[in-house]
């Protein structure tokens, strides 16, 4: 059967049939679930949702920590042919109101402790609220919903065209856009991830990233489950650097995937308090933001595993390109690898295909790509021209077909007509031995239109000043790329998934500076 006939639920049920007694999910000090038991819990929860009036295409919002209840309820919602909309539990009431309203959610499900902001938003919008709790893995999930046909059996026939997941873009350069992803989109991406990383039932990983984000959900959780492999959820429901490696050893983990910020946290802990030994990993994966070559090298040296950088977007059900495993080809420093499982092209302004080494917009098309944003014709018109999805990223292919990213088109810094890639400046900042984190960004300038500023966090115990950062940049960058201003700081604003967004950083540092000048 071709990929066009795939559904994510079908892939997961097949894995449970093939590997019924293998561990699917572990929660340290609590319990393990086999693939067969996980499917039984999903089916019983899906039946209860349907009995409570949830219909195909209804959107069900889920706001949980990274717990087993979230996994079961997410998969139960899509099993019942409804649409799952996982939301960040840290949102404010106003944010919950936006996301619940924009997704047209019919039901909000939380853990038994509840979420005051989410519940207040649901009440304002007239949306039902229920809780879900798995207190005994041998019993069904306890769901606080009244059912009209208690005990009835329902036949669920999932279709590849069913919308299964509703997410929002991170709003890097604009208001978050609603992205509906079908069963086929999810199945295609999961299959691509499985193939490029050769995931099998023998693999195991620890979930690092929040499951309301496509990176953690697709790359770590669903691709593992569809392979018959196992995942370990953090006992606290969230990532902890202090317990990460013990959980990796206990679960015999073979790999993990994270954003660069998390990798840097683990490197900092390794430098300050190294483990006695690290597990023998097949690979480490990095995605969702650019990984500086110097950080990649340090990761490989510290943890003794190849680091594979990848490229992904919510609109493509996560994975678009990846560096290969060592046995499948070389890793190229500064590249995000080759396209995986879909067509990828570099297009010029008129939609023409550009040759290798000529930068243009990165565009993709394939079964993993959404068919369009929800209720957003203007965004769809811009993003789906010429039969391709336009990512908004600027990049080029080298002679071997590896993709190199220059940056977001809207984030390129135009200094007096010179186009500067902030990714290049970031890499230089992070190559300094005393820099733990660094990010560059454009700021308005009356003479050049834009100038470069940067914000830097020094390594613990290091003595770093603005002059040293500028000296390092002048040594390694053309003069027009050297930041005009360096902000030394203890923290950088990040998204809920640990991504550093230039727009957020620029606003964070420029507003106080502007206010200071205004009051002078």
pLDDT in tens, 296-343: 999 999 999 999 999 999 999 999 999 999 999 999 888 999 999 999
Q: Are residues 441 and 335 in the same domain?
A: no
- Quote the tokens at residue 139: 């019993």
The pLDDT score that the predictor gives to residue 520 is 46
CATH of the domain at 492: 3.30.300.30
The residue length of the chain stands at 520
Instruction: For residue 353, give the DSSP letter.
Output: B
Please indicate, yes or no, if residue 301 is contained in any of the structural domains.
yes
The pTM (predicted TM-score) of the whole model is: 0.86
Question: Which whole number is the average pLDDT over 89-99?
Answer: 93
Residues 6 or more apart from 364 whose CB is under 8 A from it? 316, 320, 339, 342, 343, 344, 345, 388, 389, 391
Contact call for residues 320 and 340 (beta carbons, < 8 A): yes
Q: Are residues 222 and 320 in the same domain?
A: yes
Cβ-in-10-Å burial (0-12, 13-18, 19+) of 455 comes to buried
**What residues does 456 pair with on adjacent strands?**
438, 488
Q: Are residues 383 and 432 in the same domain?
A: no
Domain boundary residue among 367, 394, 421? 394
The pLDDT score that the predictor gives to residue 176 is 82
Residues 6 or more apart from 127 whose CB is under 8 A from it? 61, 100, 105, 106, 107, 108
| Nearest residue to 108 via CA among 158, 71, 143 | 143
Q: Are residues 185 and 304 in the same domain?
A: yes
Range list of H helices, 6-82: 8-18, 35-51, 68-79
Distance CA 492, CA 437 (A): 8
The pLDDT score that the predictor gives to residue 1 is 45
**Containing structural domain, residue 330:** 3-394
Please indicate, yes or no, if residue 103 is contained in any of the structural domains.
yes
Q: Are residues 333 and 419 in the same domain?
A: no
Residue 467 host element (H or E): helix 466-476
Domain boundary residue among 326, 360, 394? 394
Pairing assessment for the beta strands 142-143 and 128-133 based on DSSP bridges:
antiparallel
CATH of the domain at 105: 3.40.50.12780
The pLDDT score that the predictor gives to residue 421 is 86
Please indicate, yes or no, if residue 21 is contained in any of the structural domains.
yes
**What residues does 62 pair with on adjacent strands?**
86, 109
Domain boundary residue among 349, 365, 394? 394
Q: Are residues 357 and 456 in the same domain?
A: no
The pLDDT score that the predictor gives to residue 152 is 59
Pairing assessment for the beta strands 403-408 and 389-397 based on DSSP bridges:
antiparallel
Please indicate, yes or no, if residue 200 is contained in any of the structural domains.
yes
Please indicate, yes or no, if residue 217 is contained in any of the structural domains.
yes
Question: Which whole number is the average pLDDT over 3-32?
Answer: 92
The pLDDT score that the predictor gives to residue 489 is 94
Please indicate, yes or no, if residue 405 is contained in any of the structural domains.
no
Give the model confidence (pLDDT) of 388-438 as tens digits.
999 999 999 999 999 999 888 888 898 887 888 898 899 999 999 999 999
Q: Are residues 461 and 352 in the same domain?
A: no
Provide the domain count of the chain: 2
Q: Are residues 163 and 285 in the same domain?
A: yes
Q: Are residues 143 and 88 in the same domain?
A: yes
Please indicate, yes or no, if residue 402 is contained in any of the structural domains.
no
Please indicate, yes or no, if residue 506 is contained in any of the structural domains.
yes
Q: Are residues 311 and 452 in the same domain?
A: no
The pLDDT score that the predictor gives to residue 174 is 55
Q: Are residues 331 and 439 in the same domain?
A: no
Whether residue 449 is predicted with pLDDT greater than 50 in this model: the reply is: yes
Find the Cα–Cα–Cα–Cα dihedral 101, 107, 113, 117, rounded to 10°.
10
Distance CA 503, CA 491 (A): 15
Q: What number of other Cβ atoms are within 10 A of residue 245's Cβ?
A: 21
Whether residue 211 is predicted with pLDDT greater than 70 in this model: the reply is: yes
Contact call for residues 400 and 332 (beta carbons, < 8 A): yes
Q: Are residues 371 and 458 in the same domain?
A: no
């Amino acid at each position: 059967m071709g990929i066009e006939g795939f559904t994510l639920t079908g892939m997961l049920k097949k894995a449970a049939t093939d590997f019924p007694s293998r561990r699917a999910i572990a929660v340290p000090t609590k319990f393990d679930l086999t693939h067969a038991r996980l499917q039984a819990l999903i089916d019983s929860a899906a039946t209860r949702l349907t009995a409570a009036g949830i219909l195909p295409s209804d959107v069900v919002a889920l706001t949980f920590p990274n717990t087993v209840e979230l996994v079961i309820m997410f998969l139960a919602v899509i099993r019942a042919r409804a649409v799952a909309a996982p939301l960040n539990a840290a949102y404010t009431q106003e944010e919950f109101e936006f996301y619940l309203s924009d997704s047209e959610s019919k039901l909000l499900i939380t853990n038994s402790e509840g979420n005051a902001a989410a519940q207040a938003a649901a009440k304002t919008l007239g949306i039902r609220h229920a809780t879900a709790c798995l207190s005994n893995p041998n019993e069904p999930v306890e769901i606080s919903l009244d059912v009209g046909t208690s005990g009835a059996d329902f036949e669920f026939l999932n279709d590849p065209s069913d919308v299964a997941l509703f997410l929002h873009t991170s709003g890097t350069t604009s208001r978050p856009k609603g992205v509906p992803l079908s069963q086929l989109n999810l199945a295609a991406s999961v299959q691509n991830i499985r193939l490029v990383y050769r995931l099998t039932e023998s693999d195991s990983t620890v979930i690092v990233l929040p499951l309301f984000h496509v990176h953690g959900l697709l790359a770590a959780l669903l691709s593992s489950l569809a392979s018959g492999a196992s995942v370990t959820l953090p006992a606290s429901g969230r990532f902890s650097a202090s317990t990460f490696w013990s959980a990796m050893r206990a679960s015999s983990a073979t790999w993990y995937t994270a954003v660069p910020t998390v990798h840097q946290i683990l490197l900092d802990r390794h430098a300050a308090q190294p483990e006695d030994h690290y597990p023998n990993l097949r690979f480490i994966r990095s995605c969702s933001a650019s990984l500086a070559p110097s950080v990649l090298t340090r990761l490989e040296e510290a943890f003794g595993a190849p680091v594979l950088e990848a490229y992904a977007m919510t609109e493509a059900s996560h994975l678009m390109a990846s560096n290969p495993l060592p046995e499948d080809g070389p890793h190229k420093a500064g590249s995000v690898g080759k396209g995986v499982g879909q067509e990828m092209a570099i297009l010029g302004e008129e939609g023409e295909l550009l040759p290798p080494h000529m930068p243009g917009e990165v565009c993709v098309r394939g079964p993993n790509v959404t068919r369009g944003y929800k209720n957003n014709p203007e965004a769809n018109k811009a993003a789906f021209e010429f039969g391709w999805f336009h990512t908004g990223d600027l990049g080029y292919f080298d002679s071997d077909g590896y993709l190199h990213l220059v940056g977001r088109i809207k984030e390129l810094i135009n200094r007096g007509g010179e186009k500067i890639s902030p990714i290049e400046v970031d890499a230089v900042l992070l190559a300094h031995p005393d820099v733990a984190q660094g990010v560059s960004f454009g700021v308005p300038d009356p003479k050049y239109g834009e100038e470069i500023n940067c914000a830097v966090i020094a390594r613990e115990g290091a003595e770093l000043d603005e002059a040293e950062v500028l000296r390092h940049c002048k040594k390694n960058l053309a003069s027009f790329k050297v930041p005009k201003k360096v902000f030394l700081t203890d923290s950088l604003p990040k998204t809920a998934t640990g991504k550093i967004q230039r727009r957020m950083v620029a606003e964070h540092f420029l507003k106080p500076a502007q206010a200071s000048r205004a009051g002078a």
